[in-house]
Structure 1
Amino acid sequence: MFQQEVEVLKQLNHPGIPRVEPDSYFRFVPNKNNQDDFLHCLVMEKIDGLTLEDWLRQNNQLITEAQAIDWLKQLIVILNEIHPKYLHRDIKPDNIMVRPNGQLVLIDFGAVKALTQKYIIQQQQITSQNTSIGTLGYMPPEMMNEHEAYPQSDFFSLGRTFVRLLSGKHPSDFTQELQTQKLFWRNEVKSFSKRLLNLIDFLMEPDWQNRPKNTQKILLYMFDFLMVPAANNNYKNTNIVGSKRVKPSKDKLINSGLLIFSIVLNFILICLLIKVDYLRHVVVLLMFVVVSILLISLVFPLKFPLFIKIVYKLLLSRKI
């Protein structure tokens, strides 16, 4: 497992994944006269910070909704780096660390398994007498019952992790519905929005085929939180990145003036467009489009620029 962890980490390059050097794995022989008696050793990046389990105990408080959304987005981005090739198979608060700057790091890649073309991994539940794969309470049904793992298996464990973070209770402390095997946990987290709780339940669907198809689907679902955070039921934290508190009276006056200015300016451009020759046609049309976009972004200062930013990152960046 140590050798496997080094081989996996050498192929991953992300601030949310520990770094290793090519020769990070080695064997140490305490007794030179007995070469068969050795220790497996692994050198890796030291992550400053606490595991999320230790963070909960040390702070003695639950995370806020804004923090939950930020942490969930970070972990989905990390999984987006891992899933093209591997499955983690042991996501839980003890295997996630938070740096002092708020950056999350997913650790313990000893249980990682390579993906096959069919996205199905046959795995042994017990790899040795002292080593098991997965953790009760966080392990998905398909790993427990069928000894199979999929990318959606990591989503299940991630959802259970947020049950722990939002409720303060271990997932095993909640009861499950007999027929559907769904967890009865939402009564413990009434201060959070229904949309966030629905997303976590979506990640924890008992049947892996009913969970999100991939990390991109989850990010697309999460755009709702970034675009219209105020629409969340019971939403109290307004510090989500990209949103600002706006004074209605002043902004309504400014937006009305900008809207009138936009109409007048576009009317003038249309008049010019009628009079100019063909060569200037394209120039004036481009001016019309640019001015319209700029003025729309001013009239709708919260949602429009954020929408453009999200679409831009989705298309051009793998680390949205």
Structure 2
Amino acid sequence: MTYCLNPHCPNPPNPEGTKFCLSCGAKLTLRSRYRAVELIGQGGMGRTFLGIDEDRLNASCAIKQFFPAIQATTALAKATELFKREAEQLLQLGEHPQIPSLYAYFEQEKRWYLVQEFIDGVNLLEELKQQGTFDEAKMRALLGDVLPILQFIHQRQVVHRDIKPENILRRRRDGKLVLVDFGVAKQGSGTQLAQTGTRAGTQGYAPMEQLRGGQAYPASDLYSLGVTCVQLLTGKMPEDLYDSMEAQWVWKAQLQKQGRAVSAQFAAVLDKMLQELVRDRFSSATEVLQALADGAIAPQTPSKAPGSNKPAIAPAPPPAQPTPKTVAQPGSFDAIAADLAEIKSQFTPGNAPPPAKPQSGKTTTPSPAKPSGFDALEAELESLKSEYGESNSE
């Protein structure tokens, strides 16, 4: 069968071998080479077809047709830019075996097309529905497969910006995970990957720096991957795993309700991926892989988020350091300070004289109680110093 690519065709299916649609008369091949055979997906930006490449022995391919529902000039221009960007990203990144390769990008009959490698498999959301929730072993395998892909794209200054279960496919022929849909991916320059611009990403999966400011970092992709992980672990949607009143993720409580758990070390890794502030997350996919391998990561204490009413738990203060001895400098000798120090040394706890015995027949009046922590000797020394201090010294 050949499927007509005219979006307005009343009866798109055509018999195999037909060159022009029997219903609308539209040409059925693209560049006299690519032929659509089945509609496999559609959305607000266009449609995706399973196709064949007649110049490559009818090898399978995926044909993306850009046909956005929006028609406003500004929005249409932005959507066109995103579609073109996906082609550019696939051209740059398609050399990776777990990223689809780009075959062609062109315009025909005032519609844009992108032809890429067809990935025969199911996405992780479909896998979740078919097979149920993932356990820790399966989640570790997933991270071991996806994190190297993120290493690859981040090293090339690209941030995906839309990682979610639907955009990770498990390839049938080898079980490998493949990252797809680079339509909103952003490319940086040099070592700075943050880009200010389109607020891209999917609500629930994208971190706040993307949704509020249009900025994206490698840590932004790691956040979205963390959300994907806790969704697959619990079987719950992201909105059911986040307590907006307390501003915290509650995925572990959901897992506990199911009578399930993961190791403390693995939970700590996921918690760090899910931190609200960029600086509190892992900065790279390499760091996550290292933490998973080492097993040496402490439970996370998030920083206080801007505008949050919950104070951050302050870290324990460092141990007190011994006060260094003051070395006298030439021309700055303080005789009074030296005398006071000498007096004080004579009345340290180890050198204090024993209390005088009361004389026979006389009643000793007890001294008034001093407040806790009061040091009479220290107070007198400070009084003497203030009276004969440096201001009166010659």
Q: Does 1:108 align with 2:181?
A: yes
> Is the contact between residue 152 and residue 211 of structure 1 (CA under 8 Å) also seen in structure 2?
yes
- CA shift, 1:41, in A, is 0.8
TM-score (norm 1): 0.62
Q: Bigger radius of gyration, 1 or 2?
A: 2
Aligned residue type for 2:175 = G
* Aligned pairs for 1:20-99 within 5 A: 20-21=102-103, 24-29=104-109, 38-59=110-131, 61-84=132-155, 85-99=157-171
Match of 1:152 in 2: 219
Choose from 192, 195, 201 the match for 1:118.
192
Question: Distance between the aligned counterparts of 1:175 and 1:138, measured in 2?
Answer: 11
- Any idea what SS the aligned residue of 1:148 has? coil
Q: Does 1:184 align with 2:250?
A: yes
Question: Distance between the aligned counterparts of 1:105 and 1:211, measured in 2?
Answer: 24
- Any idea what SS the aligned residue of 1:50 has? strand
Provide, for residues 274-294 of structure 1, a one-character-per-residue CA deviation record: whole Å limited to 9, x for no partner.
xxxxxxxxxxxxxxxxxxxxx
Aligned residue type for 2:222 = F
> Is the contact between residue 90 and residue 134 of structure 1 (CA under 8 Å) also seen in structure 2?
yes
Question: Distance between the aligned counterparts of 1:146 and 1:26, measured in 2?
Answer: 32
Q: Which aligned runs of 4 or more in structure 1 are off by greater than 6 angstroms?
A: none
Choose from 242, 248, 269 the match for 1:175.
242
> Is the contact between residue 2 and residue 25 of structure 1 (CA under 8 Å) also seen in structure 2?
no
Q: Does 1:208 align with 2:278?
A: yes
TM-score (norm 2): 0.50
Question: Distance between the aligned counterparts of 1:67 and 1:19, measured in 2?
Answer: 27
User: Unmatched 5+ residue regions in structure 1?
Assistant: 30-37, 126-132, 228-320
Question: Distance between the aligned counterparts of 1:51 and 1:162, measured in 2?
Answer: 14
> Is the contact between residue 252 and residue 261 of structure 2 (CA under 8 Å) also seen in structure 1?
no
- CA shift, 1:178, in A, is 4.1
Provide, for residues 274-320 of structure 1, a one-character-per-residue CA deviation record: whole Å limited to 9, x for no partner.
xxxxxxxxxxxxxxxxxxxxxxxxxxxxxxxxxxxxxxxxxxxxxxx
> Is the contact between residue 241 and residue 254 of structure 2 (CA under 8 Å) also seen in structure 1?
no
> Is the contact between residue 139 and residue 157 of structure 1 (CA under 8 Å) also seen in structure 2?
yes
Question: Distance between the aligned counterparts of 1:62 and 1:174, measured in 2?
Answer: 14
Choose from 197, 219, 230 the match for 2:289.
219
Q: Does 1:2 align with 2:83?
A: yes
- Any idea what SS the aligned residue of 1:138 has? coil
- CA shift, 1:42, in A, is 0.8
Choose from 8, 13, 16 the match for 2:98.
16
- Any idea what SS the aligned residue of 2:182 has? coil
Match of 2:345 in 1: none
User: Unmatched 5+ residue regions in structure 2?
Assistant: 1-81, 297-394
> Is the contact between residue 123 and residue 169 of structure 2 (CA under 8 Å) also seen in structure 1?
yes
Q: CA RMSD in A?
A: 1.7
- CA shift, 1:78, in A, is 0.3
Aligned residue type for 1:168 = G
Question: Distance between the aligned counterparts of 1:89 and 1:204, measured in 2?
Answer: 15
Aligned residue type for 2:105 = Y
Provide, for residues 5-45 of structure 1, a one-character-per-residue CA deviation record: whole Å limited to 9, x for no partner.
12111222212111112xx111120xxxxxxxx21111111
Question: Distance between the aligned counterparts of 2:84 and 2:91, measured in 1?
Answer: 11
Indicate the structure with greater strand content: 2
Question: Distance between the aligned counterparts of 2:167 and 2:127, measured in 1?
Answer: 12
Structure scoring higher RCO (CA < 8 A, sep ≥ 6) equals 1
- CA shift, 1:4, in A, is 1.4
Question: Distance between the aligned counterparts of 2:192 and 2:87, measured in 1?
Answer: 25
